[in-house]
Chains A and B, each alone.
Chain A
Amino acid sequence: MAAADDLKFQEFDDAANLLAANPDATTISIDEPSAVPKNKHSHLQQSGREEDDELLGTDDSDKTELLAGQKKSAPFWTFEYYQTFFDVDTYQVLDRIKGSVFPVPGKNFVRLYIRSNPDLYGPFWICATLVFAIVVSGNLSNFFIHLGKPTYHYVPEFRKVSIAATTIYAYAWLVPLALWGFLMWRNSKVMNIVSYSFLEIVCVYGYSLFIYIPTAILWIIPQKVVRWVLVMFSLCLSGSVLVMTFWPAVRDDNRRIALATVGTIVLLHALLAVGCLAYFFDAPELDFPTPNIPAHNGTTVITKIQ
């Protein structure tokens, strides 16, 4: 048909025709950005920052940044947008939990495990499990401590569920919000190499709370020494994960501000553990059986040291 020529696609012919007509025209080719210039740049600037590469994961950080930009494209009022925050498999969640409990020295939790795929499954359900672990363990521990006493009547203390839930969810969501705001503010003043998105910070905080679940269950043991050793141990583990995550983000800043930020992070983490221990778990009483001391007016006095 004579009309068929008019229906042929013209585009590719045009490009080839244009290039053939004007071979000197500048063309832009898009290929993978190489990591070499970036390494050279950082080596020229700071010589003693070898751990930077490991912490940043520069071998594929560029790729992951590109991929991160392409992933969440659904508008925020659709269901698919929120599905992107739950795009994890079972083994990924287990890996992230393992990474939060066994900190590898020199490895950044966010770069190593999260890799621009922050999920909300871990933070939400770890917080929920922690709430119920603390309340149930506290109740059990109080039951065992007060077991033999004649005046003791067991109560389930169900109100503490709402208190625990408020505390733990506030810690897991408001502290990352404050930290993210603070880091954004410092970023506007001092150019930091590493910056985290809000969801990545929520993810780190959520997974770092995992160590408190077995700690809370072990707090049933009514020995003060055991409880405090557990607090120290879990604080060291999850605190070190937090410190190793956030130190690269504040390192370039004023020295005092950097130290103050990291110190506040660890302090709040410790405060959560100690506060939960003090509020939900009664102190194990030390009963010293003292002999009856007849007082002057003949009544007996039994002393008990709490």
Chain B
Amino acid sequence: MAAAEGSGVGGAAKPLFAGLSDVSISEDIPVEGEITVPVGSQSPDEDYSTLDEPVRDTIMRDLKAVGKKFVHVMYPKKSSALLRDWDLWGPLVLCVSLALMLQDGSADSKDDGGPQFAEVFVIIWFGAVVITLNSKLLGGTISFFQSLCVLGYCVLPLTVAMLVCRLVLLAGSGTVSFIVRLIVVIAMFGWSTLASTAFLADSQPPNRKALVVYPIFLFYFVISWMILTFTPQ
């Protein structure tokens, strides 16, 4: 091998890539295009800067975004608004209000009562994180925060159920009220699960959909259980 190379070099007496500099693009191949630098006509000052707007506009814009997402959850259609512009304000508001409404349900001793505020908070957020990790590990294509956003927003029907349960419990706590609460909680649990799977199921590989949907079912079941077993003192 070395002998062959040496003979080749000795015979030609010129470097390997000598002929390359003579190669040029012939004129029959048209080369055209535009190489222009877009003139920076949009200077930052000409954009509507959100720094100078009134505070009410800022707050209203975020509130409107959250409200629009609430509407999307209550009427789950195949829209990507919830996924595209995720935000965690809605889930935070829902989680805090649900945890607050589940207070005052303790028994005489703290050990046997209902969940404390921190327990509800941890269950909702830690549960949502675990479900998101599960769906990503199974090969899902949804991003981490998008999934958290969807799972948090779909707690809205259950928060409504909690509100209804507290109102019903104000009226009385007999068998009739229990049956009413049971029906409301079951309906809202079904609504939450269906809404979240409508948003999340498309991003999963097709032969693993059931593996991803089951933990979501378990998550909302646990929250529904906490709501149903709420008994005021």
Query: A residues touching B (Cβ–Cβ < 8 Å)?
Result: 1-3, 5-6, 10, 14, 79, 82-83, 85-86, 88-91, 93, 121, 125, 128-129, 132, 136, 139, 153-159
A-contacting residues, B92-120, CB 8 Å: 105, 107, 111-115, 119
Can you list the 7 inter-chain pairs with the closest CB atoms, starting with the nearest? Answer: A156-B229, A86-B137, A155-B107, A155-B112, A89-B207, A90-B210, A158-B115
Q: Are A125 and B229 in contact (CB under 8 A)?
A: no
Q: Are B112 and A6 in contact, with the CB atoms below 8 A?
A: no
13 further contact pairs, Cβ within 8 A, besides A88-B208, A128-B215, A159-B111: A3-B12, A3-B16, A6-B5, A6-B8, A6-B16, A88-B211, A90-B207, A90-B208, A121-B138, A125-B218, A139-B229, A156-B229, A156-B230
Give A281 Cβ to nearest chain B Cβ, in Å: 15
A19 smallest CB distance to B (angstroms)? 16
A128, B225: Cβ atoms closer than 8 Å? no
**Are A156 and B1 in contact, with the CB atoms below 8 A?**
no
Tell me, rounded to whole Å, the shortest Cβ–Cβ distance linking A206 to chain B: 14
Chain A residues positioned under 8 Å from B107 (CB to CB): 153, 155
- Separation of A83 and B138 alpha carbons in the complex (Å): 7
Main secondary structure of the interface of A (DSSP, over half): helix
The verdict on A125 contacting B16 (CB below 8 Å), with A6-B8, A82-B137, A89-B207 known, is no
Specify which chain A residues have a CB less than 8 angstroms from the CB of B112 in the assembled complex: 155-157, 159
Is the interface on chain B under 10, 10 to 19, 20 to 34, or 35 or more residues? 35 or more
User: CB of B231 within 8 A of chain A?
Assistant: yes
> In the complex, A85 Cα to B137 Cα: how many Å?
8
Contact yes or no, B137 A128, CB < 8 A:
no
Chief secondary structure at chain B's binding surface? helix
In the docked arrangement, what's the CA distance between A138 and B68, Å? 41
Selected contact of B137 from candidates A3, A83, A132, A136, CB within 8 Å: A83
The answer to whether A156 and B208 have CB atoms under 8 Å apart is no
* Complex-state Cα separation, A301 to B214, whole angstroms: 53
Interface flag for B67 (CB, 8 Å): no
Question: Does B226 make an interface contact (CB < 8 A)?
Answer: yes
Q: Which chain B residues numbered 12 to 28 have a C-beta less than 8 Å away from chain A?
A: 12, 16-19
